[in-house]
Structure 1
Amino acid sequence: MSLDKILSISGKPGLYKIVTQTRTGAVVESLIDKKRITVGAHSNLSILSEIAIYTLTEEVPLREVFKKIKEKEGGNPTSISHKDGKDKLEEFFFEVLPEYDEDRVYPSDIKKVVQWYNLLQKNDLLDALEEPKQVAADASEEE
C-alpha cells in the first residue's frame, strides 16, 4: 500500500487508510482501532504523499523523512514518544533532518510525524516508503 492511500483527517487522531471511494467522499479505516468511518469530500483530509516538511533550502516529502527515521531507528518504533517534551522531540528531529526549518516546523508537527511513523511501523506499512514516485511524476505532468 502506498502513502497515496493513507491520510490524516483534521480533528481526528491517528491515520486512516482509504478502503473505498464513494460519490460523496470515502470510507476509511483507522490504523489505531481498525474502525471504519465515512468521510465527506468536505472533510479536511491530508494525503501523506502530499505532505512535505520545510527545510532551510527546500521542502522534503514526508516519505523521505519517514525513510530517514526508519534508517535511524533500524525499522523499529522511534526511541522517543510523540508525548515527550518539546526539547526531546526537537533534538530527535534535528538528528533525523538536521536542516529542518525551526521557524516553520512546530513541535506539534514533529509530534505528528513521530506518531504517524510509529503507526505505519506498527501496521507494517513502512514498505510503502520504498515505492517509486510514479504518481507524483504523473501529477506534475498534468500541471
Structure 2
Amino acid sequence: MNLRGIVAVSGRPGLFKLVGQNKGGYVLESLDAQKVKIVANITTTKLASLEDITIYGEDEDLKLVDVLANITAAKGAVPDAKADGPTLKKFFLEVAPAHDQEKVYASDMKKIVSWFHILKELPLFTEAAPEAIDQDGVKVEEKAEKKPKATPKPANVKATSKAPAKKASMTSKKGV
C-alpha cells in the first residue's frame, strides 16, 4: 500500500495529495471528485501524513497503513462513516483487535472509515510502497543491516583555535 504524499489537513474535511511546496505554503489537491487545489499556510496549518499516523494499541501503537489493509481484507461490509458508535466499535474489533478501546473514540473510527471510503477508489491499495532511500542513495533497510565503520581519529591534533579578539573602538568627537 502506498500512502506517500497523502495528508490530512487540520480544520479541513477529507484527504489531500501533496502536489508541491512554494514560499507561501504547501500546494494540496483534494482527493474527492472536485479536485480542488489549495495552498495551505506553512506556519498555521498542520499536516499529518497518513503513512505516519498510528492508532493507540493495548501493547504498542498500530500503524494506520496496517489497519487500512485489514479493512480491505475484511470479509464483511465496511460500515458507512455515519454509522452509530456501537456498529463502528464492533467493526474495529474485527479489523484492529489490538486497539485500545478506551483511547480510540468513535469519532476517530468514523474518521478512519471515511478516509477508507475516499481511498478505496484510488489505486493506492495495489501499489507497493516506495522504498526509503537516504541521501547517499542506499536503501534504509540495507543501511540498517550494515554496521557503521569506525572512523579513525587523527593523532596529535589540537582542537584549540584562538580567534582574534575584537577591539571595542567607540570614540566620540565633541565640539569639533
Using structure 2 for the length normalisation, give the TM-score: 0.69
Residue number in structure 2 paired with 1:22:
22
Is the alpha carbon distance of 1:114 and 1:73 closer, same or farther for their aligned partners in structure 2, counting shifts above 3 Å?
Answer: farther
Residue number in structure 2 paired with 1:72:
74
Q: Which AA in structure 2 matches 1:105?
A: V
Of structures 1 and 2, the larger Rg is shown by 2
3-state SS, counterpart of residue 73 of structure 2: helix
Cα distance in 2, alignment partners of residues 2 and 19 from structure 1:
15
Cα distance in 1, alignment partners of residues 17 and 75 from structure 2:
24
3-state SS, counterpart of residue 122 of structure 1: coil
Task: Write out per-residue CA displacement over residues 90-121 of structure 1, whole angstroms, 9 at most, x where no aligned residue.
Answer: 11111101111011111111011101111111
Contact 2:14 2:115 in 1 (8 A): yes
Q: Which AA in structure 2 matches 1:112?
A: K
Q: Which runs of 5+ in 1 are unaligned?
A: none
Residue 4 (1) aligns with residue 11 (2): no
Contact 2:56 2:100 in 1 (8 A): yes
State percent identity of aligned pairs.
35
Residue number in structure 1 paired with 2:35:
34
Please, which of 42, 58, 73 is the counterpart of residue 56 of structure 1? 58
Give, in angstroms, the shift of residue 79 of structure 1: 2.4
Cα distance in 1, alignment partners of residues 36 and 14 from structure 2:
12
Contact 2:57 2:100 in 1 (8 A): yes
Count of residues in correspondence between the two structures: 134
Between Structure 1 and Structure 2, the one with more strand by share is 1
Give, in angstroms, the shift of residue 127 of structure 1: 2.8
Q: Which AA in structure 2 matches 1:66?
A: L
Is the alpha carbon distance of 1:73 and 1:20 closer, same or farther for their aligned partners in structure 2, counting shifts above 3 Å?
Answer: farther
Contact 2:71 2:78 in 1 (8 A): no
Residue number in structure 2 paired with 1:97:
96
Contact 2:19 2:28 in 1 (8 A): yes
3-state SS, counterpart of residue 4 of structure 1: coil
Cα distance in 1, alignment partners of residues 74 and 130 from structure 2:
21
3-state SS, counterpart of residue 37 of structure 1: strand
Q: Which region of structure 1 is more displaced relative to structure 2, 24-33 or 119-128?
A: 119-128
Give, in angstroms, the shift of residue 133 of structure 1: 5.8
Using structure 1 for the length normalisation, give the TM-score: 0.84
3-state SS, counterpart of residue 3 of structure 1: coil
Between Structure 1 and Structure 2, the one with more helix by share is 1
Cα distance in 1, alignment partners of residues 13 and 38 from structure 2:
13
Task: Write out per-residue CA displacement over residues 5-40 of structure 1, whole angstroms, 9 at most, x where no aligned residue.
Answer: 000011111000011121232110111121100001
Residue 122 (1) aligns with residue 121 (2): yes
